Copies of this chain bind each other. A is one copy, B any other.
Amino acid sequence: MLPARTLVGTLFLVAAVSSAAVPAATAEDECDLPEEMVREIRSYAPVADKIIRFVTEGKFKGRTWNKLAGFVDKFGSRIAGSQNLENAIDFMLNELRKEGLDNVHGEEVTIPHWVRGRESAKLLEPRMQTLPILGLGGSIATPKEGITAELLVVDSFDELHHHKEQAKGKIVVFNENYTTYGESVRYRDYAAVEAAKLGGVATLVRSVTGFSIASPHTGWQDYDTNVTQIPTASITIEDAQMLSRMFKRGEKLKVRLYMEAKTLPPAKSRNTVAEIKGKEKADEVVLVSGHLDSWDVGQGAMDDGGGAFVSWLSLAAIRKLNLRPRRTLRAVLWTAEEEGLVGAASYVEKHKSEEGKLNFVMESDEGTFTPQGLVFSGSKTAGCILKEVLKLTASINTTNFQLEKNVGSDITLWTSKGLPGASLMNANEKYFWFHHSAGDMMTVEEPRALDLCTALWAVSSYVVADLSFGIPRN
């Protein structure tokens, strides 16, 4: 998951902040759907139960975890521009064909190609200490000899501006306090620009997470075309706090930062598409999605292997049950999400003419821990329909419904324009502990939770795609 200020800016931040919040207080009785609509939705109970049983107790049991484990173990991390990502996409296209899905294909996208290279940071004064770092995506390299400079350590942008005369020639360390990801990520996003404006020569940014075991977290950052580019990397919570304590004691701190990071010419990648062709209104589409690319550390099992696999395995389960909804069910596995929703933006652009036929968009990119329901963006009536659909999953306790202005990451490109959409609500309180770190490994995923996610995803997407009526837009 990436909040890219280039593309969605604060819209997404709002969604990210609130996704962990309590379900909105939209009282059940505020819904007043026509009785026949409710009756129709409720008539799906037998097929919903069938899907749920098949996925969570039947032949599909454990399949999402097994498939995901096989995939992330085979490929490891999959950063945009890497051969590894393209191999993973080839593998997926083959998998999707083997599942008997319709219209399996890749759709070409031009993507950024940033490469980390070797990198290191060492505290030289007041004592020697290696500082684990992860360069931030898009960062430039240091000169070959590295950058050796004194530190200015601040807790906030405000504090930086209070001490602006001290920034020149310094490596600026941001020891921002973590509140929420949506709130604190601005330090990762803007650190280099803000420090460079004041003459800073590099930045070290405390990782955007509430908890750490000496683990740095990477993530995309953007330069401002009007401001000098300076190298920027993340450090651990522990080191940021240590440097801050030392600095506040009046000690002179010196660090040598070395980064080989570079941006290569744009590369080619693909969004990966598979469908169950609709039996009546094949040109109308319900879209489920997640992204296949990841950061270049860990296995990208959580961000967003889980979301991508829940999405395509929902189609695989529906296919195995020989179900075919009225509308087309389309799974899209985005590419280059981490660099700024690049795959999704390209898709939106290329498929603009079909947008009127896009009925509902779903995305899972905030964890696939124990599912609780859906976070929804759209009109009141659309929300009421979704709430009714969610009741079909009462047996697996995923009926929670939360209304948001925008949901998901990639699909904000549509929901911000009024298209109804939903993202997965799950027990992801620890999501940002692992996010963009080497800890994003298969260990965080759990077979039962993944089965439940797939079941919820399959039931809700199938029913919405099969209803006699479409989901009304704003």
CB pair B214 A439 closer than 8 Å: yes
Q: Is A266 in the interface zone, CB < 8 Å from B?
A: no
A 386-445 contacts with B by CB, 8 A: 433-434, 437-439, 441-443
A438: chain B residues at CB < 8 Å are 132, 213-214, 238
A442 touches B214 (CB 8 A): no
CA gap between A205 and B299 in the complex, in Å: 20
Residues of B within 8 A of A437 (CB): 213-214
Bound CA span A441–B74, Å: 34
Number of copies: 2
Q: Chain B contacts of A74 at CB under 8 A?
A: 126-127
CA A439 to CA B433, docked complex, whole Å: 14
Q: When the two chains form the complex, which single residue of B75, B213, B242 contacts A212, counting CB atoms closer than 8 Å? A: B213
Taking CB as reference atom, which chain B residue is nearest A128?
A: B76
List, in ascending order, chain B residues with CB within 8 A of A442's CB. 238, 241-242, 245
Q: Which residues of the other chain, B, contact A246 by a CB distance below 8 angstroms?
A: 73
Which B residues lie within 8 Å of A126 (CB)? 74
**Residue on B nearest A237 in the bound complex, by CB:** B443
Q: How far is the CB of A241 from chain B (nearest CB, A)?
A: 5
Residue of B nearest to A75 (CB): B127
A145 to chain B, nearest CB (A): 22
- Asked if A144 is at the interface of the complex by the 8 Å CB criterion, the answer is no
**A52 CB within 8 Å of chain B:** no
A88 CB, nearest partner CB in chain B, Å: 12
Residues of A420-474 at the interface with B, using a CB-CB cut-off of 8 Å, are 433-434, 437-439, 441-443
Chain A interface residue bracket vs B: 20 to 34
A69 at the interface (CB under 8 A from B): yes
The one of B76, B215, B239, B299 in contact with A213, judged by C-beta atoms closer than 8 angstroms, is B215
Which of B73, B76, B238, B298 is the one whose CB lies under 8 Å from A214? B298
* Bound-state Cα–Cα, A441 to B215, Å: 12
Known A245-B69, A434-B213; contact A238-B129, beta-carbon cutoff 8 A = no
> Quick check: is A143 within 8 A (CB to CB) of the other chain?
no
Residues of chain A from 49 to 92 with CB closer than 8 A to chain B in the complex = 69-70, 73-76
The answer to whether A212 and B69 have CB atoms under 8 Å apart is no
Say whether A214 contacts B70, CB under 8 Å.
Answer: no
Q: Contact: A439 with B213, CB < 8 Å?
A: yes
Q: Are A242 and B299 in contact (CB under 8 A)?
A: yes
Interchain CB contact under 8 A, A242 and B129: no
Asked if B241 and A443 sit within 8 Å, CB to CB, the answer is: yes
Considering only CB atoms, which chain B residue lies closest to A440 in the complex?
B214
Contact with B along A107-150 (1 / 0, CB 8 A): 00000000000000000001101001000000000000000000
Distance (whole angstroms) from the CB of A370 to the closest CB of chain B: 17
Measured in the bound complex, the distance between the Cα atoms of B433 and A238 in whole Å is: 14
A162 at the interface (CB under 8 A from B): no
Interface residue A249 (Cβ < 8 Å from any Cβ of B): yes
In the complex formed, the residue of B with least CB distance to A243 is: B73
Partner of A242, one of B73, B237, B241, B434: B73
CA of A111 to CA of B246 in the docked complex: distance in angstroms?
Answer: 31
A282 CB → nearest B CB, Å = 39
**With A213-B439, A439-B214: A127-B76 Cβ-Cβ less than 8 Å:** yes
Residues of B near A69 (CB, < 8 A) are 245
Residue from B76, B238, B241 within 8 A of A439 (CB atoms) = B238
Q: Which residues in window 283-299 of A have CB below 8 A to B?
A: 298-299
Say whether A212 contacts B245, CB under 8 Å: no
| Residue contact B249 to A70, C-beta cutoff 8 Å | yes
Contact call B213/A433, Cβ cutoff below 8 A: yes
Proximity string of chain A (192-216) to chain B, C-beta cutoff 8 Å, 1 when within and 0 when not: 0000000000000000000011110
Q: Which B residues are CB-close (under 8 A) to A132?
A: 438
Among B73, B213, B237, B433, contact of A245 (Cβ-Cβ < 8 Å): B73
Closest to A297 in B: B214
Residue of B nearest to A246 (CB): B73
Find residues 141-200 in chain A having any chain B CB closer than 8 Å to their own CB: none
The 8 A-B residue pairs with the shortest CB-CB distance in the complex, in nearest-first order:
A213-B439, A214-B438, A238-B441, A214-B439, A213-B215, A238-B443, A213-B213, A241-B443
23 pairs across A/B with beta carbons < 8 Å? A70-B249, A73-B242, A73-B245, A73-B249, A74-B127, A76-B127, A76-B129, A212-B439, A213-B213, A213-B434, A213-B438, A214-B215, A214-B298, A214-B438, A215-B215, A215-B439, A237-B443, A238-B298, A238-B439, A238-B442, A239-B441, A241-B442, A242-B299
